Amino acid sequence: MVEHVIFVKRAMRPKKTQDGERMRQLRLRLAALRHAAKEVRSLSDALHVKFPPELRELVYEFGLEPCSRLTFSFWLHDEYVGEAVAKEATAVYYKTTPFTVVASDFDEMPEHLTVDHLGLNVSPARFIRSLVVNIHMEEFRKTTKQKGPVFPYTAIKNCLEALLQLEHKKGLHLEIEFNTCSVAYKRGLYNVLQIFRPIYLELKAAGAHLKIRGHFQSMRGIQNKSYESDDDGDDDEAADDADLYNDANNYNDANNYNDADQYDND
C-alpha cells in the first residue's frame, strides 16, 4: 500500500512540472503584452501629436484590419492607443468600409446605424459612405405579429426611414435589395417602392447614389429585377425617377405572374 502511494506521488510530479512551465509561459506572455501596450501607446500618442489629420487617416487606413463581431483591430481599442486615436480610427473604419445590413425587423436598421458599437461615443451613421441593405420581407410579417399591431409595410417604412439618419448623404453609395419567396410580397413590391419613394427622393436630392433591386425566389429559381437611378450617365433626373417607378410598375404587371396561382399556397 505504501509503495503504491509513493508510486502515485512520483507519477504526479511531471504534471506539476508541466503546470509550472505553463504558468511561466503565461507570465512571460502577459509581460510581453504589457510592454507592447506601452510601446503602442507611446507611438499612438506621438502619431496624434506630430502628424496632421490627413496623414493620420492614411496611417489608419493602412493599419486597420477587417473586424468581426468578436475581434477587431487594435487601432479601435482605446486602452491600447488612447481615446483620441481610437475615435479617429473608428471614424476612418466606418468611412472606408462597405457595410451590409440584413434587416428582418423594423428595429434593426436604427440599431445598426446609431448604436455605439465600440463604446467610444462614435455613431456609424455619422461616417458610413457605402451600405447594402437586404430587406427580407417575410421576416417583417413574422416580427410584427410578435410585437403587436404593426403592419409589415409600416414596419418596412420605419426601417427604411432610418437611412435618413446617415449624415454624409452626398456621394453615399446605397444599394437596397428586397428579397422574397412569396408571390403576395412579390406583387406588393410596387407598394414598397411607393413607400420608399419620398425617402429615395430625399436621399437622391442630397447627392446619394442609389441602386434598388428585387429578388423573388420560387421553385423555378430566382427572378431578379434591378432598378437603378442616376447611374446612366445623363443629367435628366426626372427621367431617371420615372424610369425607376414605371419599371417597378411593369414588374408588378399581371403578365409577370402567370405562375402566381401555382405558388399562392407555398
Residue 139 and residue 89 in one domain:
no
Structural domain that includes position 176: 98-256
Q: Which candidate, 232, 124, 238, 251, places its Cα nearest to that of 190?
A: 251
Residue 40 and residue 155 in one domain:
no
User: Does 258 score more than 60 pLDDT?
Assistant: no
Residue 226 and residue 149 in one domain:
yes
Q: Is residue 165 part of a domain?
A: yes
Count structural domains, the chain: 2
pLDDT at site 179: 78
Of the three residues 60, 80, 96, the one that is the final residue of a domain is: 96
Cβ within 8 Å of residue 30, ≥6 positions away: none
Residue 123 and residue 252 in one domain:
yes
Phi/psi for 213 (5° steps) reads -135, 150
Residue 113 and residue 41 in one domain:
no
Residues 50-66: what's their mean pLDDT? Answer: 88
Residue 193 and residue 77 in one domain:
no
Q: Which amino acid is at 96?
A: T
Give percent of the chain above pLDDT 90: 22
Q: Is residue 82 part of a domain?
A: yes
> Which cell numbers hold the place of 25?
509561459
Q: Which amino acid is at 141?
A: R
Residue 143 and residue 204 in one domain:
yes
pTM comes to 0.68
Name the residue with higher pLDDT: 75 or 97: 97
Residue 50 and residue 164 in one domain:
no
Q: Is residue 9 part of a domain?
A: no
> Which cell numbers hold the place of 242?
420615372
Average pLDDT, rounded, for the chain: 73
Name the residue with higher pLDDT: 103 or 46: 46
Tens digit of each residue's pLDDT (9 = 90 or more) over 216-246: 766 555 555 555 554 444 444 544 454 455 5
Grid look-up 510592454 returns 35
Q: Is residue 88 part of a domain?
A: yes
Residue 176 and residue 90 in one domain:
no
Tens digit of each residue's pLDDT (9 = 90 or more) over 105-155: 666 788 888 888 888 899 999 999 999 998 877 776 665 555 555 556 777
pLDDT at site 144: 53
Residues 172-178: what's their mean pLDDT? Answer: 91
Residue 75 and residue 120 in one domain:
no
User: Does 80 score more than 70 pLDDT?
Assistant: yes
Cβ within 8 Å of residue 38, ≥6 positions away: none
